[in-house]
Chain A
Amino acid sequence: MDLWQLLLTLALAGSSDAFSGSEAILSRAPWSLQSVNPGLKTNSSKEPKFTKCRSPERETFSCHWTDEVHHGTKNLGPIQLFYTRRNTQEWTQEWKECPDYVSAGENSCYFNSSFTSIWIPYCIKLTSNGGTVDEKCFSVDEIVQPDPPIALNWTLLNVSLTGIHADIQVRWEAPRNADIQKGWMVLEYELQYKEVNETKWKMMDPILTTSVPVYSLKVDKEYEVRVRSKQRNSGNYGEFSEVLYVTLPQMSQFTCEEDFYFPWLLIIIFGIFGLTVMLFVFLFSKQQRIKMLILPPVPVPKIKGIDPDLLKEGKLEEVNTILAIHDSYKPEFHSDDSWVEFIELDIDEPDEKTEESDTDRLLSSDHEKSHSNLGVKDGDSGRTSCCEPDILETDFNANDIHEGTSEVAQPQRLKGEADLLCLDQKNQNNSPYHDACPATQQPSVIQAEKNKPQPLPTEGAESTHQAAHIQLSNPSSLSNIDFYAQVSDITPAGSVVLSPGQKNKAGMSQCDMHPEMVSLCQENFLMDNAYFCEADAKKCIPVAPHIKVESHIQPSLNQEDIYITTESLTTAAGRPGTGEHVPGSEMPVPDYTSIHIVQSPQGLILNATALPLPDKEFLSSCGYVSTDQLNKIMP
């Protein structure tokens, strides 16, 4: 390889006549073997390049270039710098050599003031062995880089009242070689300072004066300050001055640590306070939506899958199917009335209380009372209706005797529309309640959930599951008064329609037609939220004159909240027809009767023992028909 390089170099040296020192080249053959011909750029040694051109005061400038270092050997040919500048009217391509290679150090060219023109562009090029290595064009203003300021000093301006901070005034002088006095250079300065043990310098904005105040330095810390300068409008920042150390004298011995801690505690406290305030605002505001969001209402119990509306409309089949899904559901007694449940009152276990609700209290009270009331009631068996005032009073009093708490419960319940207590009209403003035929009945009282009469209608099915309180309001003298009664339905208003229940069991039908009954029937029919037992309806209808009852019934029928059992419907419907045999109260009628066929608006055929036939249009539930359908039926 060495031989090849030698031959190549010799060939080049011989061919080229640009080399001034060809003999020197030859004599330096060993060096040349390893050196690179700059023109060829064959090997890895670097070419000299301009590193920096700088004018510190706009009167002189110098250019530096990299020294080609390759194994400590010098380059083959001397590196030369040529410059040219545009004279007045034309761009002379006359390249002149650097006037001073020495003054600015090694690998540099220094142009003194006679060679420096400010608004004239220069071009310089670096040559080695005749070949241009690097070239650069500029004007002097672009390369102005002032010297660092000198003579930095500081004075104390003032100390804060706390003795923790202080302000100082830092002064310096322009570099000597910058001609500020004559206005040749106008400098701007940048000051930087930091604490001694910090790493990042803080910078201030550029200023035109040679003194500047620095505010808010901590007294117990030591600071470093440095300044650098730049010509306005052109050039770059010069080097930084020497660092000035600022040690502020401690005024007092009791300087406290004033470290700034982020007030997390305050922020947390105020945040919690604010949130609480907002929460209260939301809670007490009328914004139901937000309230719902924050405090969602407790869902009322529902049967899964059953839409309360279904029950209202009485679509029994669908409800049946839905309920059939539930394992717990057992349509025990009536196949077609599967959604009505008998609620058993277990007398033998009086302590069977699950909740402390008023219902239960009343229930329990009734448990206890039932024993005694039985006798009382039995004593009043002569009465036909639980609506007799005496009966009601006794009932009420009996209830009062037993539990005081029930008093509270009772008025509540009584006031509620859903009360099924046998109430006296005089005593209460509630809707009068007609039990089933007193003779036979055990008036069934089912207490609805007292506090929520309104949801009851919507949860018809649910009401059937509720604990029912059976109160004997029927002055039936029957010993075997049943404690069970069926709730036929619950009106939307909350009143409950009872079915006559086991009339047959009772055996006695004391539903004699009494005039007072008639009057009561009339009155009651007229009342709102009145629910009628079937027997009552039956009683009322045949007893009263047709016209009278009809007139009474019809307005009552028109009221939405009145439910009339199918029997009453039958009676009412059958009346005009006259072909229908109105089943008397003495006739054993099953509790639940389905309307089998509606032949005409005036005809209803009750299917006493009919299997539940899906008659979609009409309710075949526990003997009630909604007024809509009634209106359809009735003329």
Chain B
Amino acid sequence: MNIKGSPWKAGSLLLLLVSNLLLCQSVAPLPICPGGAARCQVTLRDLFDRAVVLSHYIHNLSSEMFSEFDKRYTHGRGFITKAINSCHTSSLATPEDKEQAQQMNQKDFLSLIVSILRSWNEPLYHLVTEVRGMQEAPEAILSKAVEIEEQTKRLLEGMELIVSQVHPETKENEIYPVWSGLPSLQMADEESRLSAYYNLLHCLRRDSHKIDNYLKLLKCRIIHNNNC
């Protein structure tokens, strides 16, 4: 394992500790460092396992949040047909089916995942802020949004760690699609505002599913050599 310098080591320790804590909430805790925290070397397999668990969890939360929002606010009002607005991550060239995913190289794949995760930092932050600021903030949606924001940060850190392990020579690419939907979330017109929220949550669900799928593919490819 090539770990670049002590910051990475500290970061990995931090990630592992935090991941352990949060993973304990949703899944049975796995022993990270059998040898103790001092000489902890997390295997790539463990990193991927955790990443997959996280991404699965995030996708579950996104699905639930979306369905709750739809049920409560927009059900049967034909928003899906109006949700033509593309997601801000549509500019990224994401594989849309299995063949495309298989054809994508591993490095690009990982970078793509990281980019998507990065691009969702800000929208999630604003989503939480706006939902919290709503009068009669729906608690279920708000709590899920908060949780998704938190877990996405963890997943991003883990992904960056994986990248540093798998492709250490990758230079930090901070380019990611920027979300500019904040004004639409704050619109006065309720219809437009609801449409904006619908779109945002729909995109979040889709992107979290993509990340989950991609990570599972990568895990089977990298760790199990296409033999999960």
A120 and B219 within 8 A (CB): no
Asked whether, in the complex, the Cβ of B216 is within 8 Å of the Cβ of A119, the reply is: no
Chain B binder among A110-118, A279-287, A338-346, A571-579: A110-118
Cβ of B103 within 8 Å of any chain A Cβ, yes or no, is no
Which 4 residue pairs of A and B lie closest in terms of their CB atoms, listed nearest first?
A: A183-B220, A117-B96, A183-B216, A91-B84
Complex: A141 Cα to B96 Cα, angstroms: 12
B99 is contacted by which of A88, A113, A186 (Cβ under 8 Å)? A113
Chain B residues lying within 8 Å of A59, measured Cβ to Cβ, are: 97-98
Question: For the complex, what is the distance from the CA of A181 to the CA of B226, rounded to whole Å?
Answer: 5
| Tier of interface size on chain B | 20 to 34
Contacts of A102-147 to chain B: CB distance below 8 A? 113, 116-121, 137, 141
Residues of B within 8 A of A119 (CB): 94, 96, 206, 209-210
Residues of B near A117 (CB, < 8 A) are 96-97
Partner of A183, one of B84, B206, B221: B221
Contact between B96 and A183 (Cβ–Cβ < 8 Å)? Answer: no
Query: Which of A137, A182, A232, A234 is the one whose CB lies under 8 Å from B217?
Result: A182
Interface status of A179 (Cβ within 8 A of chain B): yes
**Are B86 and A88 touching (Cβ within 8 A)?**
yes
Return chain A residues, CB-CB under 8 Å to B63. 233-234
Say whether B140 faces chain A, with CB atoms less than 8 Å apart.
no
Contact B84 A86 (CB under 8 A): yes
Residues from chain B with a CB closer than 8 A to the CB of A90 are 84, 86
Residues facing B in A132-169 (CB within 8 A) are 137, 141
| Distance in angstroms between the alpha carbons of A121 and B80 in the assembled complex | 10
Q: Is the CB of B228 within 8 A of A233?
A: no
Q: Is B226 a contact partner of A118 (Cβ separation < 8 A)?
A: no
Mostly, the B contact residues are helix
Look across to chain B and name the residue whose beta carbon is closest to the beta carbon of A85. B96
Which residues of chain A come closer than 8 Å to B90, judged between CB atoms? 88-89
Per-residue A-contact encoding for B194-227, CB less than 8 Å = 1, 0 else: 0000000000001001101100111111000011
Q: Identify A182's interface contact among B60, B97, B209, B226, CB under 8 A.
A: B226
- B residues near A181, Cβ cutoff 8 Å: 220, 226-228
Interface of A (DSSP majority class): loop
> Given A88-B86, A117-B97, A119-B210, is A233 in contact with B56 using a C-beta cutoff of 8 Å?
yes
- B49 to A: closest C-beta gap in Å: 12
Q: Scoring A residues 166 to 187 as 1 if CB is less than 8 Å from chain B, else 0, what string do you get? A: 0000000000000111111010
Task: Provide the residues of chain B in CB contact with A184, threshold 8 Å.
Answer: 98, 101, 213, 216-217
A469 at the B interface (CB under 8 A) = no
B59 at the interface (CB under 8 A from A): yes
B97 touches A116 (CB 8 A): yes
Q: Say how far A183's CB is from chain B's closest CB, in angstroms.
A: 3
Bound-state Cα–Cα, A3 to B96, Å: 56
Instruction: Tell whether, in the assembled complex, residue A113 and residue B220 are in contact, meaning their CB atoms are under 8 Å apart.
Output: no
**What separation, in Å, do the CA atoms of A181 and B86 have in the docked complex?**
32
CB nearest neighbor in A for B218: A183
Contact B97 A113 (CB under 8 A): yes
Given A119-B206, A181-B226, A182-B102, A233:B86 Cβ within 8 A: no
22 A-B pairs (CB sep. < 8 Å): A91-B84, A113-B98, A118-B213, A119-B94, A119-B96, A119-B210, A121-B80, A179-B98, A180-B228, A181-B220, A182-B98, A182-B220, A182-B221, A183-B219, A183-B221, A184-B213, A184-B216, A184-B217, A232-B56, A233-B59, A233-B60, A233-B209
Cβ contacts under 8 Å, B220 to chain A: 181-183
Complex CA–CA separation, A553 to B109 (angstroms): 124
Min C-beta distance of B219 to chain A, whole Å? 6
Partner-B contacts on A (CB < 8 A): 58-59, 86, 88-91, 113, 116-121, 137, 141, 179-184, 186, 232-234
Tell me the smallest distance from the CB of A136 to a CB of chain B, in Å. 11
What separation, in Å, do the CA atoms of A117 and B218 have in the docked complex? 19
Flag B45-89 by CB within 8 Å of A: 1 or 0 each.
000000000001001100100000000000000001100101000
- Pick from A91, A121, A141, A183: contact of B228, CB below 8 A: A183
Closest B residue to A91 by beta carbon equals B84
With CB as the reference atom, state the residue of chain B lying closest to A120: B96
Task: Give the distance in Å from the alpha carbon of A233 to the alpha carbon of B53 in the complex.
Answer: 13
Name which residue of chain B comes closest to A180, CB basis.
B228
Task: Count chain B CB atoms within 10 A of each CB in A113, A116, A118, A181 and give the residue with the most.
Answer: A118
Please name all residues of chain B whose beta carbon is closer than 8 Å to the beta carbon of A233 when the two chains form the complex.
56, 59-60, 63, 209, 212
Most chain A C-beta atoms within 10 Å of own C-beta, residue among B102, B227, B228? B228
* Complex interface: chain B residues within 8 A of A182 (CB): 98, 102, 217, 220-221, 226, 228
* Chain A hits for B210, CB < 8 A: 119
A173 to B59, CA, bound (A): 26
A89 to chain B: closest residue by CB? B86
Shortest distance from the beta carbon of B58 to any chain A beta carbon, whole Å = 11
Complex Cα spacing A113 to B209, Å: 19
* Contact in complex: B217, A118 (CB < 8 Å): no
What separation, in Å, do the CA atoms of A91 and B56 have in the docked complex? 29
Check B97 against A183 for contact (C-beta < 8 Å). Answer: no
CB-CB under 8 A from A120, the residues of chain B are 96
Cα-based distance from A233 to B67 in the complex (angstroms): 13
Could you tell me the distance in whole angstroms from the C-beta of B90 to the nearest C-beta in chain A?
6
What is the minimal beta-carbon distance from B61 to any residue of chain A, in angstroms? 11
The CA of A574 and the CA of B67, in the complex, are separated in Å by 107
Q: Establish whether residues B216 and A186, one from each chain, have CB atoms under 8 Å apart when the complex forms.
A: yes
For B80, the chain A residues whose CB sits under 8 A away are: 121, 137
A57, chain B: closest CB distance, angstroms: 9
Q: Are A183 and B217 in contact (CB under 8 A)?
A: yes
A156 to B78, CA, bound (A): 54
Q: Write out the residue numbers on chain A whose beta carbons fall within 8 Å of the beta carbon of B216.
A: 183-184, 186
In the complex, which residue of chain A has the Cβ closest to the Cβ of B227? A181
Q: How far is the CB of A311 from chain B (nearest CB, A)?
A: 76
Q: Which chain A residue shows the least CB distance to B206?
A: A119
A179 to chain B: which residues have CB within 8 Å? 98
Q: What B residues does A91 contact at CB under 8 A?
A: 84
- For residue A502, give the distance in angstroms from its CB to the closest CB of chain B: 100
Distance to closest chain B CB from A143 (angstroms):
14
